[in-house]
Amino acid sequence: MEWDFTEDNYAHIQHIIQKYPVNYKQSGVIPLLDLAQRQQGVDGRGGWIPLAAMNKIATILEMAPIRVYEVASFYTMFNREPVGTHLIQVCGTTPCQLNGAEAIIDAITEHVGIKRGETSSDGLFTMLEVECLGACVNAPMVQINDDFYEDLTTARMKTVLDQLKAGGRNATKIGPQGARKGCVGPQGKTSLHEIPPAAPKRDFAAVRTHVEAAKKAAEAEAKAKA
């Protein structure tokens, strides 16, 4: 299977590589894997990374292909098998479990006909159960490609699925699915009502001078007592 980056993505690759020293351009392997995966997706979202893409990255970065395989297989954010247009990652960690993650999984199975690790027959949806996605206060939640859908119920989950099927990402409401704004609780904001003041800038040169002066004074005192 032949595979190559698009012309636009080659320009992006040059921008990425320029961030690293010439002899350390292999450090760009993660952003290039992400770029390859997005190229395989729809509108730069979702997608997967075929072996041919990993080999192309190895050639561009002048590194052994096995080193690219190691990175791609280590990080779960990289998909090494085809996935649906909408990759649903259901958070299954404690806060989401306690707030109904299993019911969300069951709702997806009932509505789309797929279980964990499966892709729907129309190629639209793949469902995975993953560890914490960092939106615990709005549990239960799922990540679909790059977007979070939070404060879910079974009915809200099914609505999101219908919206994705009918009009794609733009037809959905990204973020909390209820009335919540951001991660503010039902009592409203209880802290951080104002933007905190910026931390004062430290004059590290002055601090160093002070430390050195104190050190010399201590040494001089020690000599005087000797």
State the pTM of this model.
0.79
Q: Which amino acid is at 151?
A: D
pLDDT digits (tens, 9 = 90+) for 117-143: 999 999 999 999 999 999 999 999 999
In percent, the amount of the chain with pLDDT more than 90 equals 78
Domains annotated for the chain, with CATH where assigned, are: 7-74 (1.10.10), 86-176 (3.40.30.10)
How much is the pLDDT for 204? 80
Alpha helices in 41-123 (DSSP H): 51-61, 65-74, 94-98, 101-112
pLDDT tens digit string along 71-83? 999 999 999 999 9
Can you give the C-alpha Rg of the chain in angstroms? 25
pLDDT band with cut points at 50, 70 and 90 for residue 193: confident
pLDDT at 35 over 80: yes
